[in-house]
A and B are shown apart, each in its own frame.
Chain A
């Protein structure tokens, strides 16, 4: 199993960014996926979840209306569209695969800096 995130970078407050996560080594279309972040000096924070078929999406309160999780099962790719970015969104963003309830695999992360 491999999860490779990309798309991070430096963006000004109020700006937008799209993160991607390319999955391999498993049947991507069969599993739910999360985005999780870790800000400097803080703990892990769940950001969003999408079911295997994209039918349900859930978000942490602080990103509702600003972030959108999506997936393209034909491309084995997970996305996170981020807009109206704030300084407090600065973090390493990880994509993560769900086995049944737990996260069994994580990517290496991509750094988003809002400044």
Chain B
């Protein structure tokens, strides 16, 4: 069971804006930076956002990351059909038995 909670699904029509939330705690989001990954099963996942709100080169500025306290969000504006995929937040967690890299539960965008 992941310690980062995301809504299981989100949907929109082309051109719309979709926002995905990622809820954690002080031991993970509250004390470490958040990354966001896009994944289509059968392919290599792709980094969309790192350090809470930075985009790697080549990622369109339609993708916007933010963080406040123990929650983070990914917004996708100008939704396109190619954005249909699974999205995961991730960060380090100061686990009781040592650090863990944790992924969110994942959100399927339609």
Contact = CB atoms under 8 A, between A and B. Distances in A.
A101 B32 contact: yes
B46 to A, nearest CB: 8
State the majority secondary structure of interface residues on A. strand
A43 B85 CA distance: 12
Interface in A83-115: 92, 94, 96, 99, 101-109
Interface stretch (B9-17, B18-26, B36-44, B71-79): B36-44
B47 A46 contact: no
Contacts, number: 67
B44 A109 contact: yes
Interface centre among A36, A92, A94 (most CB of B within 10 A): A36
Interface string B77-110: 0000000001010101000011111111110000
B1 to A, nearest CB: 11
Contacts of A44: 37, 39, 45, 88, 90, 103, 106
Interface size class of A (residues with CB under 8 A): 20 to 34
B70 interface: no
B104 A43 contact: yes
A46 B35 CA distance: 14
B68 interface: no
B78 to A, nearest CB: 24
A107 B39 CA distance: 12
A30 interface: no
B43 A108 contact: yes
Given A43-B2, A58-B98, A101 B51 contact: yes
A40 to B, nearest CB: 8
18 contacts: A44-B90, A44-B103, A44-B106, A45-B103, A46-B100, A46-B101, A58-B98, A58-B99, A61-B97, A61-B100, A94-B44, A94-B45, A101-B33, A101-B50, A102-B35, A102-B51, A104-B50, A109-B44
Interface of A: 34, 36, 38, 43-46, 49, 58, 60-61, 92, 94, 96, 99, 101-109
